[in-house]
């Protein structure tokens, strides 16, 4: 089946992150098994979602080393979006294929699956692997489960291409995303008796201002990276809740902020000063009125940045295969940082544009799919030994 037909099939499975992805995973697993391969799944805790991993062994049967093609199977919701056509039915119109997930990122997965026969008929010097995850769109929750299972099985792929939409350009680095939650526990009182209460909203506000000042300092650091659109690490408060009535001093306020860090910076760079401000400044002031008052501060999501510094070999290989070998760095995060943290050299390169992702009428240009097909064909061929003898080619079947 070709890439376009695979993409139509994949879009037909509604794999919005809140739903199970198992129907799609089992469909792909059946295809891989029919091709004589031995895919394995790594499920989430409650068993309603799974990662899929499969190895196409090298010509000598080896399953170690090699390149991983990585994609996430989940898609963002279509709720509240105004689509011109049914989002889970692929629709081709004027050189574009429309559907939820067409560009982010079932297009890449479709191209990889369509290339499977080429992978199996090539005399691979090193194995190729396909890694499909769940729950990428809600904080990259699936990939770490797969990577843990990979380590448990003793598999050690050396390189990874994450096929998020880059217009088939080579993205070598992205920022990390770390989200934090602050729960301010104050003390209620009638709003006419302010000295008897501890106003949780007002303490939350002090902390938000402090975080905003910290953001200003990040912007003034000397070690900015101009290759990013926004060349510094950022902090942004996005959600706040607190209070029940205007005449009650609120005893509870919760807010969340995200920290998007340059690859050389860590979450501790902001978490430590924030924690110190809470412990040394805010809590003592709150506890002067009531010793039970406090602020809980904890991290939610932890998606590490991808740092392009250590993957020169992979960059050199990919540079030969893409039309535009210029390296870029992007603001959005991917599972790439998690693969890198697992010791796998990783870059991002996939069909479609991030500008079409997550929107109503998401689409991918058919020309982008064709470029991805071409890229994968060349990549598979560059794996071939110089003096390939087709007659001696053997496939490793389990």
The question of whether 74 is a catalytic residue gets the answer yes
Question: What phi and psi values does residue 280 have, to the nearest 5 degrees?
Answer: -95, -25
Task: Provide, rounded to whole angstroms, the least separation between the CB of residue 230 and Zn ion.
Answer: 19
Task: Provide, rounded to whole angstroms, the least separation between the CB of residue 76 and Zn ion.
Answer: 8
CB nearer to Zn ion: pick between 75 and 253:
75
Q: How far apart are CA 156 and CA 98, in angstroms?
A: 36
CB nearer to Zn ion: pick between 105 and 198:
105
Task: Provide, rounded to whole angstroms, the least separation between the CB of residue 352 and Zn ion.
Answer: 10
Long-range own/partner contacts, residues 232-241 (CB < 8 A, 24 or more apart): 232/262, 233/175, 233/259, 233/260, 233/261, 233/262, 233/265, 233/269, 233/270, 234/259, 234/260, 235/211, 235/259, 235/270, 236/260, 237/208, 237/211, 237/212, 240/204, 240/208
Residue nearest to Zn ion (CB): 104
CB nearer to Zn ion: pick between 135 and 373:
135
Footprint on this chain of Zn ion (rule: CB under 5 A): 104-105, 164
Task: Provide, rounded to whole angstroms, the least separation between the CB of residue 334 and Zn ion.
Answer: 7
Alpha helices in the chain (DSSP H): 3-11, 22-34, 107-114, 116-121, 143-152, 200-219, 268-277, 283-287, 312-319, 336-341, 366-382
CB nearer to Zn ion: pick between 105 and 366:
105
Candidate list 104, 135, 136, 137, residue with the active-site label: 136
Long-range own/partner contacts, residues 35-41 (CB < 8 A, 24 or more apart): 35/116, 35/117, 35/120, 36/120, 36/395, 36/397, 36/398, 37/398, 38/398, 40/149, 40/153
CB nearer to Zn ion: pick between 105 and 122:
105
How far does the chain reach from its first CA to its final CA, in angstroms?
Answer: 23
Candidate list 14, 45, 60, 74, residue with the active-site label: 74
CB nearer to Zn ion: pick between 104 and 307:
104
Q: How far apart are CA 76 and CA 300, in angstroms?
A: 19
Q: Please compute, for residue 212, the number of CA atoms within 13 A of its CA located in the half-sphere on the CB side.
A: 8
Q: How far apart are CA 131 and CA 108, in angstroms?
A: 12
Q: How far apart are CA 298 and CA 294, in angstroms?
A: 13
CA angle 380, 382, 387 (to 5 degrees): 115
CB nearer to Zn ion: pick between 135 and 164:
164
Task: Provide, rounded to whole angstroms, the least separation between the CB of residue 164 and Zn ion.
Answer: 5
Task: Provide, rounded to whole angstroms, the least separation between the CB of residue 162 and Zn ion.
Answer: 9
Q: How far apart are CA 217 and CA 213, in angstroms?
A: 7
Task: Provide, rounded to whole angstroms, the least separation between the CB of residue 165 and Zn ion.
Answer: 7
Active-site residue set: 74, 136
């Amino acid at each position: 089946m070709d890439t376009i037909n695979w993409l139509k099939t994949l879009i037909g499975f509604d794999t919005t992150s809140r739903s199970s992805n198992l129907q799609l995973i089992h469909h792909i697993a059946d295809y891989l098994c029919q091709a004589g391969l031995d895919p394995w799944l790594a499920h989430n805790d409650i068993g309603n979602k799974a990662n899929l991993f499969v190895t196409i062994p090298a010509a000598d049967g080896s399953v170690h080393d090699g390149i991983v093609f990585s994609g996430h199977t989940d898609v963002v919701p279509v709720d509240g979006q105004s689509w011109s056509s049914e989002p889970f039915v692929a629709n081709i119109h004027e050189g574009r294929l429309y559907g939820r997930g067409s560009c982010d990122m079932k297009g890449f997965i479709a191209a990889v699956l369509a290339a499977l026969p080429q992978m199996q008929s090539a005399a691979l010097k090193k194995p190729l692997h396909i890694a499909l995850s769940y729950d990428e769109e809600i904080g990259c929750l699936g990939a770490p489960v797969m990577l843990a299972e990979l380590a448990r099985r003793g598999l050690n792929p050396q390189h990874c291409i994450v096929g998020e939409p880059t217009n088939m350009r080579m993205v070598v680095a992205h920022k990390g995303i770390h989200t934090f939650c602050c729960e301010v526990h104050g003390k209620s009182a009638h709003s006419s008796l302010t000295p008897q209460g501890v106003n949780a909203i007002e303490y939350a506000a002090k902390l938000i201002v402090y975080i905003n000042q910290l953001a200003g300092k990040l912007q003034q650091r000397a070690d900015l990276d101009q290759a990013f659109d926004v060349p510094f690490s950022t902090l942004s408060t996005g959600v706040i809740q607190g209070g029940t009535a205007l005449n009650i001093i609120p005893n509870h306020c919760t807010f969340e902020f995200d920290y998007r860090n340059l690859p050389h910076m860590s979450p501790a760079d902001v978490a430590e000063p924030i924690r110190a401000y809470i412990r040394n400044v805010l809590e003592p002031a709150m506890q002067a009125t009531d010793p039970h008052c406090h602020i809980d501060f904890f991290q939610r999501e932890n998606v590490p940045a991808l740092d392009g510094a250590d993957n020169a070999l992979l960059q050199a290989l990919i540079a030969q295969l893409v039309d535009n070998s210029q390296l870029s760095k992007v603001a959005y995060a991917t599972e790439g940082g998690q693969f890198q943290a697992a010791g796998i050299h990783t870059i991002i390169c996939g069909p479609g544009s991030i500008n079409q992702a997550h929107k109503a009428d998401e689409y991918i240009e058919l020309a982008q799919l064709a470029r991805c097909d071409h890229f994968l064909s060349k990549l598979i061929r560059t794996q071939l030994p110089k003096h390939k003898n087709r007659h001696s080619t053997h496939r490793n079947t389990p």
